[in-house]
Structure 1
Amino acid sequence: MSKTVKIKKATWKFYFLEGILTSVWLVYLLDFYSFYNESYFYTDKRLPIFFRLISFLNDNWQELFSYFVLSFLFMSLTLFLTYYLYLSNKEQMKGYKIFCFLNVGYCLALLGNICGMLFFILFILAASLIYIIFVLADGKSYQNELQDDELIERKGPFETEEAAQKESSLFKSQWVKIEGSHLVDVIYLEADGKYYVEMYIEPIENEYLNYSK
């Protein structure tokens, strides 16, 4: 029963957020295209498309600048919510994929005009910003979850200690370094007469603490 209530609450939360997002985009798109159709009417259509764009920007720069800034903010917010709510919870949000495409559709709706290329550039910048934010957040989250001497790999058995050291060096060369931590290897001899190597992740601050002791 509690699980059902939880799912219903989550569903209403997603609908509420999507409702707000849809309302914001509809108001923005209607206002922009209303302004665009009226202003573009006075642009000389005989000019090549590039010079037509320059002329349109020159005649309406003050208004367009506000639309560009707002579009970047709305795109960033939309992509952030899309990734946070849907792409990072794929298993739980399988039934809501339509909203993911709908959100991207709002952004792409700005491409159907002479300023489409500029809006596309803003879309790429917004997507890059959100990507960087989540990459940094994931890295920070993983770093915070690191435990002292966290075992990540155990290899063996090896006939000699040199073979174990060679495998350890190979693993270290292929390891992608995580900021704020380093890789520690431990080679030991088991009762079966074989050598084993264990690889640990250790936060760098713990290394300083060990030296201080």
Structure 2
Amino acid sequence: MDPFVQPSTTDLNDHDENDAAQSTSSTTSLGARLEKALLIGICVLGIFFNVLTFLKHKAARRRRSSATRVSLSLLRVMAGADSACLVVMLFTLGMGQMGWRSNHLLGTLMCKANLFIVHSASAFSLYCWLVLSAVRYVAVFSPLNHMRLNREPITAVVLLAIIIGVSESWLLIDVQYDAVNGACVTAHDDDLDQTIQITEIVLTYFVPLAIITICDCKVI
């Protein structure tokens, strides 16, 4: 083989590999930016529609019966919880530009607050929906009791908020910030973490969703 051709071929191969690596990196970066933009758009739209729901039901609340006002209040509370969750998610998406990632203390505080609010607000919103479904169920199958409703659903929502806040408070203690990987992590082992996550998903998502589905199907 010609010794003068060998280096040229090697250089061309290295150049092609560098181009391929740069192309892959550019594609990955573009995909990440598009995904982030999509998530930001979803959060902004969600907040916008929740604010509209809140204002619309606030204006209509004055002209309705007591039982209907209770239902509208539940919708407003649910919209508020959804908005809180979306605002925190939106804030988290924008935090990468704020220069906090190298600060372990600030990162830990951000992780604790963000995860606690997102977990609590999403669970609370779903349980508000459950209370609202129960109110609709009572309205259809026991109209007299529905007309007598006053503060009972609101009291139930307050109790649920307290229970959810207490049950999610472990996040404020256990979650830490991993400055090396730029991620929020828990202090316990993976098996225990998986067990806690599965239990939380079942109790805060599948259980209320199953009851909501049963109530709404019977109403329909």
* TM-score (norm: length of structure 1): 0.29
Point out the structure with the larger helix share. Answer: 2
Pick the structure with greater CA Rg: 1
More relative contact order, 1 or 2 (CA 8 Å, 6+ apart): 2
Please state which structure has a larger fraction of its residues in strand: 1
